[in-house]
Amino acid sequence: MIFMIVYALAVVAEFYFVPMYLKAVWPEKSMRSLKYKMVCSALFMLAALCCMFYSNNYTSYTAFMLTGLAFGLVGDLLIHYPTPKKAITALGGVSFFIGHIFYIAAFSVTMKNYFPQAKVLDYRAVTVILALAGIGVIIALAKKIKFGIFAVPVLFYTVVLVTMLVTAFQLTIRLQGTLSVAVTVMLGALLFVLSDATIVFLLFGGQKKNRPLKVFNITTYFLGQILLGTSILFIQS
């Protein structure tokens, strides 16, 4: 019971510290805003660990999910660190990229454990992935977003991101769409994708000063991470 109490406190604290971070980061990021952001990141890690201990879920799914969350935490540190050096921000993007690889592994390995005959990335899944990535490219071109030297890395990141989303949906559908899995896995993955999509406009689309977009970006990100971590309660394979 103690773990669920700590989990609940972590989630409640997230709703307090995310607005504090959003206030501190505007109009420019600073060491103060970084501290608030890292508290928010530590809270989603704490919530996930509490779910693991409470459910005694020491499976491959938990290992992959916690690793993905950890890379997200590192990415939060690097991408937000107040420095003009773009290399640091780029490393943050790489950390998130690796984190998505572990999320994909969590969903894919678990699906194979539950359904050994299932094909994770069959032609239908690949078609959906390419279609979603293509839509992203079309939107970027329509909005005349200029990625510069980051064009290819962003494209690779987009493919991995939508693969994470598709595998999350596949797992949810295979598990017959139970509400707990649908909310934590499917909605969690979707919120993460929506958050990352807004980053394109914030970083490359001239919307850096768009406060509502920034609020949406951060809110969907931390809520998505909390939900993905919470999925450890419901998926034990």
Residue closest to 158 by CA, chosen among 177, 144, 138 = 138
Q: How far is CA 5 from CA 9, 46, 47, 152, 227, in A?
A: 6, 12, 10, 44, 17
Average pLDDT over residues 187-196: 96
pLDDT tens digits along 206-228: 888 899 999 999 999 999 999 99
pLDDT of residue 149: 86
* Measured CA angle at 193 (ends 29, 24), to 5 deg: 20
Q: From residue 98, how far is each of 70, 87, 94, 117, 197 by CA, in Å?
A: 10, 16, 6, 27, 17
Domain ranges of the chain: 58-228
| Residue-wise pLDDT tens digits, 77-113 | 999 887 777 778 889 999 999 999 999 999 999 999 8
Residue 178 binned pLDDT confidence (cut-offs 50, 70, 90) = confident
**If DSSP states are collapsed to H, E and C, what string results for the chain?**
CHHHHHHHHHHHHHHHHHHHHHHHHCCCCCHHHHHHHHHHHHHHHHHHHHHHHHHCCCCHHHHHHHHHHHHHHHHHHHHHCCCCCHHHHHHHHHHHHHHHHHHHHHHHHHHHHHCCCCCCCCHHHHHHHHHHHHHHHHHHHHCCCCCHHHHHHHHHHHHHHHHHHHHHHHHHHHCCCCHHHHHHHHHHHHHHHHHHHHHHHHHCCCCCCCHHHHHHHHHHHHHHHHHHHHHHHCCCC
Q: Give per-residue pLDDT as tens, 10-65.
A: 999 999 999 999 999 988 888 999 999 999 999 999 999 999 999 999 999 999 99
Provide the pLDDT confidence category of residue 176 given band limits of 50, 70 and 90.
confident
Q: How much is the pTM?
A: 0.94
CB of 237 within 8 A of CB of 110? Answer: yes
177 band by pLDDT with thresholds 50, 70 and 90: low
**pLDDT exceeds cutoff 80 at 146:** yes
What per-residue confidence (pLDDT) applies to 123? 87
Sole residue written with tokens 């704490």: 46
> What's the mean per-residue pLDDT of the chain?
92
- The tokens for 136 are 């992203």
